[in-house]
Amino acid sequence: MAIINLTPHDVVVWVDEDPMGEKVCFPASGEVARLASIELGERRDEGVLVQDVEFGHLLKAPERVEGTRYIVSLPTALAQPRGDFLVPFREVRDDDGRIVGCRALARPL
């Protein structure tokens, strides 16, 4: 199975629990699956601007290819459920709390 990373960052997956252990890296492909929003209108409530926005439109969806999976962001996978979308799951953080990888890839159902 081929896995193509459609996020803007390399995705590193730890193979085991050892922080110094084996990792698999899925480099960013250069293409990003992004969501668009459509502004439908606006109004003021209590003096604050409130926008009516429709979220969740996938721009440039990849074609489905037998035997190929795509790593996308969780919002993308939730907005456009597809069996070939995977998301980073169980984040791994460094000592400063920054995400440096994950323990698995998940297929949202």
| Per-residue pLDDT reduced to its tens digit, 59-99 | 888 999 999 999 999 999 999 889 999 999 999 998 999 99
Task: Give me the pLDDT at residue 19, please.
Answer: 66
Q: Which of 17, 8, 37, 27 is nearest to 92 (CA)?
A: 17
Task: Give me the pLDDT at residue 8, please.
Answer: 95
Over residues 7-24, mean pLDDT: 87
Task: Give me the pLDDT at residue 21, please.
Answer: 77
Give the type of residue at 14.
W
List own/partner pairs for 8-13 with CB under 8 A and 24 or more apart: 8/32, 11/71, 11/88, 11/101, 11/102, 11/105, 12/92, 12/100, 12/101, 12/102, 13/88, 13/101, 13/102, 13/103, 13/104, 13/105
Question: pLDDT tens digits, residue range 25-46?
Answer: 999 999 999 999 999 999 999 9
List the domain boundaries for the chain: 2-106
pTM of the model: 0.84
